[in-house]
Every structure is written in C-alpha cells, then in structure tokens.
Amino acid sequence: MQTTLYSGFGVWDPVIWTIAGAVILLLVYLFWRSGVSTYRKGSEQERPYLSGNAEPEKNAVHIGGGNLYWGFTEGLKGYYSRLVPVHTGDLNDYMLWYFGVLVAVCALVVIFQ
C-alpha cells in the first residue's frame, strides 16, 4: 500500500516515521530494563519524599489549569488586556462586529474590483 504523501515540495511517510519511533521506544525500554530493579509496586517507595515533611493533602499539591501559562499571559498583558474585553458575551456586540465586517468586506470588494 502506498503510504508516502507527496506535497509537491517534499514527502511525508508516516509508516517509516512510526517504525523509527517504535525502534527508539524499544531501545529506551531495553535501556530502562537494564537498570537496577529495586522498585516494588505498592511499597513505601511510591510515597513522595518531601525532605522528610509530611505529604500535604492531595488537592494542595495538584497544580490546577488556572496556574499554567501564567507567565505567558502576564508577558502578553498588553495584548490580552485588549483582546479579552472584546469578548463581552453581549449579543448586541456580536452583531455590531458582524455588520462591521459586512461593511468592511463590501468596501474592499468595491475598492479592489
């Protein structure tokens, strides 16, 4: 079966890529397997070690979605402070945007006709 996708500028063969990935995974597995086998499932080893301190409550250690990419949004505060307020949730605003686009596109097709 033909699996190579020709884009006109290059080729992409997912099957070769997948085989290569499988070989790498196999090597990783063999490497991992050759390590020291002292791990015991369900033993004390599975408890997190926090410098001897007691483990906090589970909800306290899980990082929620709201904490992720804080730095990204903070760095782009100027952009987000303009973009987010545009999403007002008000149907009147949605319609204004639509009519704005309608007029703009109309003007463009007339100008560049």
Partner 1 sequence: MSQYVPLLVALPLIAAFAMPLVGMLGKTIRNSLAIIAMAGTVTAALLLVYEVLVNGTIIYAFGAFDPSLAIPFDSGGVPIRILFVIDAMSAFMVLTAAIMMFAVVLYSLSSESEQTGQDGYYALLFLMMVGIFGMVTTGDLFNFFVFLEINSLAGAALAAYRINKGLSVEGGLKYAFISTIAGLFFLFAIGMLYGQYNSLNIAYIASVIDLTGLSLVALVLMITSLAMKAGSVPMHFWTPDTYSSAPSSITAILIVSSMASLYAIFRVAFSLYGVTMNVVTIGWIIIILGILSMFIGVSMALPQKDVKRLMAYHSVSQIGYMLVGLGVGVAVLGDTQMMNEFGLVAMEGGIFHIINYALYKGLLFLIAGAVIYRCGTRNLNELGGLGHSMKWTMGFFIIAALAIAGIPPFNGFASKILIYESVFIFNPYISVIAMVVSIMTLASFVKVFHSMFMGPKLPQYAEVKEVPLPMLIGMGLLAALIILFGLFPDLVVNLLIEPAALAFIDQSGYISSVMGGI
Instruction: CB nearer to partner 1: give 39 or 57.
Output: 57
Min dist. Cβ of residue 68 to partner 1 (A): 4
Min dist. Cβ of residue 77 to partner 1 (A): 11
* Cα–Cα distance for residue pair 34/45, rounded to 1 Å: 20
Min dist. Cβ of residue 14 to partner 1 (A): 4
Can you list the positions of beta strands (E) in the chain? 5-6, 11-12
* Cα–Cα distance for residue pair 12/31, rounded to 1 Å: 29
Min dist. Cβ of residue 78 to partner 1 (A): 12
Sign of CA dihedral 75, 77, 82, 84: positive
- Reduced to 3 states (helix: H, G, I; strand: E, B; else coil), residue 24 is helix
Query: Which residues contact partner 1 by CB under 8 A?
Result: 1-10, 12, 14-15, 17-18, 21, 57-59, 61-66, 68-69, 72-73, 79-80, 83-84, 87-89, 91, 93-95, 97-98, 100-102, 105-106, 108-110, 112-113
- Reduced to 3 states (helix: H, G, I; strand: E, B; else coil), residue 50 is strand
Instruction: CB nearer to partner 1: give 9 or 34.
Output: 9
